[in-house]
Amino acid sequence: RGVAWKKALYKASRKRAHTDHNGVLVWTTSRVQQGWSASVSGGCAGVLRRVYWSQSPCGSEQEAELAAARVALQAEFPQIFASLAAVEAATLSKPGKVQAKKKGAAPKWKAQAA
C-alpha cells in the first residue's frame, strides 16, 4: 500500500473548514483515452482555492483520485505533503520489500513438494 493521499487531504480539509462532514471535498472521475482522470474541489467555501486534477491518465478510478489528492495536498497543504512525500520516498527506496503471507497459507516449499 502506498501513501494515503486522499485520507490526508480529507483530514486537512476538514480541519481547515472546521467541520467533520464528508462533503467537504467533491470528487469527479472520468474515463479518458489512456485510463482514468480525476479532479477534486472544495465542497464548501474556503476549503480548496481551486480544482485540482490528476496530472496524467491512471490505471483505475482510485489511482486517479489518489493522484488528484496528491496534487491538491502539494498546493494547499505543503507541510503535510512534504512529510508524506518523505514517507513515500523511504518506502519506495527499500529494496526487496517482503509481502505479508496470507493467514493459513502453506509455505512455498511445502506447496511445491505436494
Cell numbers 462533503: residue: 23
Under a CB-based contact definition with an 8 Å cutoff, are residues 87 and 23 in contact? no
Span 10-38, pLDDT tens digits: 999 999 999 888 789 999 999 999 999 99
Class level of CATH domain 5-91: alpha beta
Percent of the chain topping pLDDT 70: 82
* pLDDT for position 102: 52
* pLDDT for position 104: 56
* pLDDT for position 22: 76
The domain ranges of the chain are 5-91
